Amino acid sequence: MTSSHIKVLQITEYLNDSAVSPFYFFQRFSNLQKLKMVDCNFKEFSPYEGDFGEERDVVTMLPRINKLTLQGVDQMTHLWKQGSPLNHICANLETLKVYECGNLISLSCSSSSFQNLTTFEVWDCKEMVELITSSKAQYLERLVSLTIGGCEMMREVIASDGDQATYHEIIFREFKFLKLDGLQNLKSFCSGNHTLKLPSLVEVTVNACPRMENFCQGRLSTPKLHKVQLTETDFEGRWAGDLNATIEQSNTE
């Protein structure tokens, strides 16, 4: 099988001394659909390395994948940076999974990388304090499932950007499943005076989030939601009339 026929690729223990990932390597995988990187030590994604840096048309020759998994990429602090080749590679991204990236502070994703995203998972990223800003959250139009666990420093999932007067109406029309687990410092899912509309949300699990004060500080609409599960096996769940009230009640008991 030639590299052009490969659709699934896993790179494990890329321990090159270079601080960047040389993305020109991926040119040969023109039909690549799924990419997984495990225990790699690069600090950022870049299409350039050494003298090859002048060949800037390399980005347009890279494949576009629909699933990206990063696990144990401990040296990276920001996933996307301005000019990153990931903006091209992930333009059709449907699934993003980020596990055990101990120094990752921010995803800093471009809006184009979110437009087709349906499944989003983040686990054990100990330094991450927020998942996404309110302005970029608006582009998660196709999100169906979101899972966040073990991110001990996370204070909010959707954080306000700009000044406090900035207002956004955030609508996740396809969003159905949410799991928040072991977020010891989480205070709110969505901070700031924003309107959050989740017309398809039917399943919410909130486990071991002891400091969570509310779900949304602004207006909130979840017409199909009728319970919040406190564990995955808590099928009966609880409900205090609305999602905000249920979160508040569960954490005062």
| 34-92 pLDDT tens trace | 999 899 887 776 655 443 444 455 566 678 889 999 999 888 888 776 666 677 788 88
| Per-residue burial over 15-47, b = 16 or more CB atoms within 10 Å of its CB, e = otherwise | eeeeeebbbbebbebeebbebebbebbbbbbbb
Distance of alpha carbon 42 from alpha carbon 56, whole angstroms: 20
**Ranges in the chain, pLDDT < 50:** 49-55
Contact 30, 2 (CB under 8 A): no
pTM of the model: 0.89
CATH 3.80.10 fits 8-251, yes or no: yes
pLDDT, position 53: 46
The predicted-structure confidence for 157-170, as pLDDT tens digits, reads as follows 999 876 655 678 89
236 CA to centre of own chain: 28
**Domain positions in the chain:** 8-251
